[in-house]
Structure 1
């Protein structure tokens, strides 16, 4: 592989709903169950449980970056209820990436929403901005602390909105 310029990010990206599987609290999961002929995500590729193996393959392929998302519907399955277990899961993903020499680039929103958010009107709902702000505040708590002394937090945070 040719030498990359210092600081060049060479990586891969995934979207949580598409790879994690069993995202039962999301609006897309609900939609998949209702629309005839729509492909259901089901277990997807089970990256929720296999993320360490997936990241190891990226590192072995010579990549230095992995962009992955934090699934809002998992982190906040009902309004104002934040799952500490899910926050810890995503922190473990960040730590694993760092341990493997991958720069984690975090996506906070990738098209799917918690079911309750969609039912309240999605981005057009009266509380949309406040609800998303609360989610972002909670999630950035796990993003901004280093994994261990000398380790840096993720270098970028992204969002993909429809």
Structure 2
């Protein structure tokens, strides 16, 4: 299996995708890693999620997370050592605009250096503008239920895009809009009666941001990544993705769980028991082929794909991160062979992080015991060598 997947990786890396859309994909297949600000940075400023964490409604408080805020240089270097092309992170609105009309130049300088370090290592920054976190002062105004949030969000987007235009970045406007809405309802940031208003706001924000990015950063590629839910996705896409179809240069696909007659374990994800969900690589192939059929001619990029363990323990089903990587990369290669215009794959995530209320699910190539290890030591899992081998294309 390992040699076969390495051969597929070589094919992927050398693949040239023929597209005729205005948002044509790069000609090389891109390998990357994903992360997000709130989940990994620590030193959390006031935000909706710092409040949720402090409310006692989460399994764990955020604490220092894995302290990417102060360890980004070493973590970016770890990504570069894998040989990847892309490093995805988010610029946290709550960090750079702690109060209305006030921008924190120290925190902007921090993100300046993150971008610079990524580029120094020869990687492409994939910058997420909104990974489910907004400032506390926006929460005080009602969050996404407040009609003024869209304008405030766009002011932040313009500040960030203008600062990093011309640096070869790829842009993700809103991370997983449907799950964003669901989390806001779960933790009290949104009443169920306001769901449509939030989706309308996210659609408006994305559409305006798409135009803004193409004006300020000509040639940049823009998306909003979708959390793929098998069976339900065509309906879920009517809430957001179908409404911005003319404002994406590629579809970002996040895939974690599939459903099949012999594998119904995805139900465990509904109660955040992620490590009890048995991986289903065929589902990634199915997701990519689904978008190939429903969005003909639109390039695809796997923005997130990964597998959790529970507190770093071996999985009861015997799946390892190495096996997960090899079999999911093979699924991507099969989809490309069958006509899916996929031009990139990111593993979620480089390190373990705060999984929206808990440190139990660990997705990282490098594991970090955020609960009990004050040194926050990064320890490589078997996924590190597996991914390095796949990316490098060497048997």
Which TM-score applies when normalising by structure 2? 0.38
Measure how far apart 1:24 and its partner are: 2.6
More contact order relative to length (CA 8 Å, sep ≥ 6): 1
**Shift in CA distance, 75/37, structure 1 to aligned 2, threshold 3 Å:** closer
Hey, what does 1:149 align to over in structure 2? none
Is 1:158 the counterpart of 2:179? The answer is: no
SS at match of 2:72: helix
Measure how far apart 1:34 and its partner are: 1.5
Hey, what does 1:130 align to over in structure 2? 151
Aligned match for 2:38, one of 2, 12, 17: 17
Uncovered stretches (5+) of structure 1, i.e. residues with no partner = 146-151
Q: Once superposed, what is the RMSD of the aligned Cα atoms?
A: 1.6
Answer with 1 or 2: which has the greater Rg: 2
Q: Is the 8 A contact 2:129 2:174 kept in 1?
A: yes
Cα distance in 2 between the residues matched to 1:15 and 1:97: 15
Hey, what does 2:255 align to over in structure 1? none
Hey, what does 1:142 align to over in structure 2? 163
Which residues of 2 match residues 1-40 of structure 1 at below 5 A? 2-3=9-10, 4-5=13-14, 6-36=27-57, 38-40=59-61
SS at match of 2:70: helix
Cα distance in 2 between the residues matched to 1:112 and 1:96: 24
Is 1:87 the counterpart of 2:73? The answer is: no
Uncovered stretches (5+) of structure 2, i.e. residues with no partner = 1-5, 15-26, 181-395
SS at match of 1:131: helix
SS at match of 1:111: coil
Is 1:78 the counterpart of 2:93? The answer is: no
Larger deviation, residues 83-92 vs 44-53: 83-92
- Number of aligned residue pairs: give it: 156
Q: Is the 8 A contact 1:64 1:102 kept in 2?
A: yes
Hey, what does 2:133 align to over in structure 1? 112
Larger deviation, residues 104-113 vs 80-89: 80-89
Measure how far apart 1:37 and its partner are: 5.1
Measure how far apart 1:157 and its partner are: 3.6
Cα distance in 1 between the residues matched to 2:57 and 2:142: 23
SS at match of 2:30: coil
Measure how far apart 1:107 and its partner are: 0.2
Measure how far apart 1:137 and its partner are: 1.2
Hey, what does 2:391 align to over in structure 1? none
Measure how far apart 1:23 and its partner are: 1.0
Measure how far apart 1:36 and its partner are: 4.7
SS at match of 1:77: coil
Q: Is the 8 A contact 1:144 1:154 kept in 2?
A: yes
